[in-house]
């Protein structure tokens, strides 16, 4: 098991945004966290990525309790997790330099960085844009560049927060294909947060439905969407959840 979340609660200014979250993510899983906006999906991903601390509960990565780690261990864990945020932020530099940035921080030799970035550019159909300033890219190009920046690091765990929001259908198809390829070919464990039920069905894997900060039901996607056990989940699937 690569990740376990135990009895996790997060409280902001007196408001409970996550309540008693329990998750077990096995290596090589695709896990879809689905729920409406404001359900707590982003907060949970940020806690897993060590960007925030829970109010109570525990996150265990590869058997290590994150609350117990040293700064050196924290750096090591951060290097094994990549997070594609919902709001893509690219640096004011070329596409190539954006993708190479994380590798440069790790001190890899320039020839290895060049080869890895070139390979990733080709895979994502960005090789013709490698010298383009990333701030001038279209929405689809920018999202592919942000995904490339994650992919080139070859993470053990990839966190994706609404990775295809506001993209046109061709770019949605491409991004989803790349996500599945990372999982099947590289063995990358994926946790993807989305409000899009059709996307959750296409990507397969296990699904957890989060409503008002609680994971109400978990299961294999096909079973959960066709025969949910919870009335609240059934209402959400039918579009009746408020």
Give the CATH number of the domain where residue 190 resides.
3.40.50.300
Please give the pLDDT value at position 43. Answer: 97
Residues near 47 by beta carbon (within 8 Å), at least 6 away in sequence: 8, 10, 18, 53, 54, 59
Q: Is residue 62 part of a domain?
A: yes
Please give the pLDDT value at position 204. Answer: 81
User: 199 near 176, Cβ under 8 Å?
Assistant: yes
CA distance linking residue 223 with residue 230, whole number of Å: 12
**Residues of the chain predicted below pLDDT 50:** 242
Q: Is residue 166 part of a domain?
A: yes
Q: Taking CA 149 as the corner, what is the angle to CA 144 and CA 150, rounded to the nearest 5 degrees?
A: 100
Domain span at residue 66 reads: 3-87+156-237
Q: Is residue 33 part of a domain?
A: yes
Q: Is residue 195 part of a domain?
A: yes
Q: Is residue 68 part of a domain?
A: yes
Please give the pLDDT value at position 241. Answer: 57
User: Has this prediction a pTM greater than 0.85?
Assistant: yes
Please give the pLDDT value at position 242. Answer: 47
**8-state DSSP, 132:** S
Instruction: Tell me if residue 159 falls in helix, strand or coil.
Output: strand
Q: Is residue 200 part of a domain?
A: yes
Instruction: Tell me if residue 63 falls in helix, strand or coil.
Output: coil
CA distance linking residue 52 with residue 154, whole number of Å: 23
Please give the pLDDT value at position 92. Answer: 97
Residue 206 half-sphere exposure toward CB, CA atoms < 13 A: 16
CA distance linking residue 237 with residue 240, whole number of Å: 8
Question: Among positive and negative, which fits the CA dihedral 57, 59, 64, 66?
Answer: negative
Give the pair of three-digit tokens for residue 221.
């996607």
Q: Is residue 109 part of a domain?
A: no
Q: Domain tally for the chain?
A: 1
Whose structure tokens read 């949970």?
44
Give the containing element (helix H, strand E) for 123: helix 110-123
Please give the pLDDT value at position 81. Answer: 96
Instruction: Extract long-range pairs of 219-225: CB within 8 Å, 24+ residues apart.
Output: 221/32, 225/197, 225/200, 225/201
Backbone torsions φ then ψ of 70, nearest 5 degrees: -85, 170
CA distance linking residue 217 with residue 224, whole number of Å: 8
Q: Is residue 101 part of a domain?
A: no
User: 21 near 218, Cβ under 8 Å?
Assistant: no
């Amino acid at each position: 098991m690569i990740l376990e979340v135990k009895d996790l609660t997060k409280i902001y200014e007196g408001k409970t945004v996550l309540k008693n979250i329990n998750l077990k993510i096995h290596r090589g899983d695709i896990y879809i966290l689905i729920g409406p906006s404001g359900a707590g999906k982003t907060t949970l991903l940020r806690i897993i990525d060590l960007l925030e601390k829970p109010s109570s509960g525990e996150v265990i990565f590869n058997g290590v309790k994150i609350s117990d780690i040293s700064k050196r261990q924290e750096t090591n864990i951060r290097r094994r997790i990549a997070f594609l945020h919902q709001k893509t932020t690219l640096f004011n530099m070329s596409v190539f330099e954006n993708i190479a940035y994380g590798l440069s921080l790790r001190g890899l030799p320039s020839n290895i960085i060049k080869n890895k970035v070139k390979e990733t550019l080709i895979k994502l159909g960005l090789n013709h844009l490698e010298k383009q300033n990333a701030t001038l890219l279209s929405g689809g190009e920018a999202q592919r560049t942000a995904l490339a920046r994650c992919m080139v690091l070859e993470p053990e765990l990839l966190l994706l927060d609404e990775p295809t929001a506001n993209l046109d259908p061709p770019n949605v198809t491409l991004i989803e294909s790349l996500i599945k390829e990372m999982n099947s070919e590289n063995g990358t464990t994926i946790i993807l947060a989305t409000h899009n039920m059709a996307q959750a069905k296409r990507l397969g894997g296990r699904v957890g439905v989060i409503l008002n900060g609680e994971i109400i039901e978990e299961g294999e996607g096909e079973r959960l969407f066709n025969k949910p056990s919870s009335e609240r989940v059934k209402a959400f699937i039918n579009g009746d959840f408020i």
